[in-house]
Amino acid sequence: MTEVIRLETPLTHEKVAQLKAGDNVLISGVIYTGRDAAHKKMIEALASGEKLPFDMKDQIIYFVGPTPPKPGQVIGSAGPTTSYRMDAYSPKLIAEGLTGMIGKGLRSPEVIEVMEKYGAVYFGAIGGAGALIAKRIVSAEVIAYPELGPEAVRRLVVKDFPVIVLIDHLGNNLYDIGKAQFERA
């Protein structure tokens, strides 16, 4: 059985350097949310010299647009969004200090190149498990772009949030590793 790595945010470069593609990780601490519309607004803010909704340095963005919470819940279903939608924006945010992203699916070669250059990691969360993932979210607060509804930027506090390292800071890609193992079998 694979050892589980417990990771506390912020996600410093020292912590990033210890993660390898295929590692199972439980994240605790603060992470932020953002999907395509929020990413577009953040890139526009950077282009016009405005401050971002939060300091990107050593932070993790979860690509999610949660459903509204039911009474008594902190957040509704919170499953990952397909990450390639953020590929046009991620390189600029990584250059601003972002060290972690959580989503599902493949990333472009350009994003992987920037991850290697600046030392960032891409985590995968399980699609279709949004209701279970939401149970790992202790608190959720909209901090920017409330007009975007589910796509607003939120500050989440998570406890033992389950992810797997899909692409590490060296560009090792679990999708490629798995495909190569399958082809050899």
In whole angstroms, what is the distance from residue 120 CA to residue 68 CA?
30
* Of 15, 35, 39, 41, catalytic: 39
Verify cis geometry, omega within 30 degrees of 0, for the bond prior to 10: yes
142 phi/psi in degrees, rounded to 5: -70, 125
Residues 6+ apart with CB under 8 A from 73: 134
Tokens of 25: 């990780």
In whole angstroms, what is the distance from residue 54 CA to residue 67 CA?
22
Dihedral sign for Cα 61, 62, 63, 69, please.
negative
Q: Is 39 a catalytic residue?
A: yes
Catalytically active residues, by annotation: 39
